[in-house]
Amino acid sequence: MYDLIQKRDYFCPSRYISGRISEYDIRACNINMLKYYGMISDELYNYLSVIPKIDREIYIGNMMREDKKIYDTISKGIKEFKVKLASTNNIQDKEIVRIANDAVYVNRPIDLFTTVFDNIEFKQKGIYSSVVKLNKSTIIFLSKDMYGNSIVDVKGIGDNDVLHQNYMISIIVTVINTMEMSSAKDALALLNDIYKDYVSLKLDKGCYREFNSISMYKYKHSNYGAFYIEDINDIDISYNLYILRELWSIIMERSKIS
């Protein structure tokens, strides 16, 4: 457990998880770690607490460049307090869905009881009902609001999720919802129809924008991409085709379990 919880980057072996997945992030991690270990004064802490996050990160980044101990202290503190979080709440290996530096995702039917240690607070940032990992960098967390509408949090594509909202994200969410609310068989049938339309270039052009952090259209037989392409026939469709195949593989695994 202690080796696992200290990792900077981890995702559980399963590509699809359902349950009650809570995301806990260390609030204002950098300055709170520096305050806890006495690396900054109360005055500087108070100042950094009220300025915009981007300005705070720039300030701390400059401190790191001037003094390596700043980075080492923050890094050491993150590991130490993730261990405290796990030991105090008796978090088991099988409950850990994801670790992203100072964030821990725990699959547990209730909230963690203890999330504050001195001035270090693990803030519950989100609660999700399922998560699907499509490749090494792209992970989608799903939940629903009180009206049954899907809430989607995509990791690995930066701020480009808006470009995919009505396209690849909509496809993936619809297929996952079909599996969860109906059956894996129905989800596979739906995905099969989508796949046929995709390779036949019958879907909206936005479905062919690569579902990654670059989020560009890639030209056929070329390493070049563009933010806009006029003719859909010029697009290399292989990247999102791989995503659809991965989704198919995940649903197939679920069909064998259910």
Residue 24 domain flag: yes
CB 27 within 8 A of CB 121: yes
Cα–Cα dist 222/171, whole Å: 27
Q: Provide the whole-model pTM.
A: 0.90
* pLDDT higher than 80, residue 130: yes
* pLDDT higher than 90, residue 136: no
Last residue of a domain, one of 112, 129, 146: 129
Pair (98, 150) in one structural domain? no
What is the domain extent for residue 249? 134-258
* pLDDT higher than 80, residue 54: yes
Angle of the 68-88 helix axis to the 29-36 helix axis, nearest 10: 90
Residue 14 domain flag: no
Task: State the total domains in the chain.
Answer: 2
Segment 38-42 shows an average pLDDT of 95
Q: What is the pLDDT of residues 92-106, one digit of tens each?
A: 999 999 999 999 999
* pLDDT higher than 70, residue 258: no
Share of the chain above pLDDT 70, in %: 99
Question: How does the average pLDDT of the chain come out, rounded?
Answer: 94
CB 44 within 8 A of CB 131: no
More confident residue, 174 or 148: 174
**Side chain identity at residue 18, one-letter code:** S
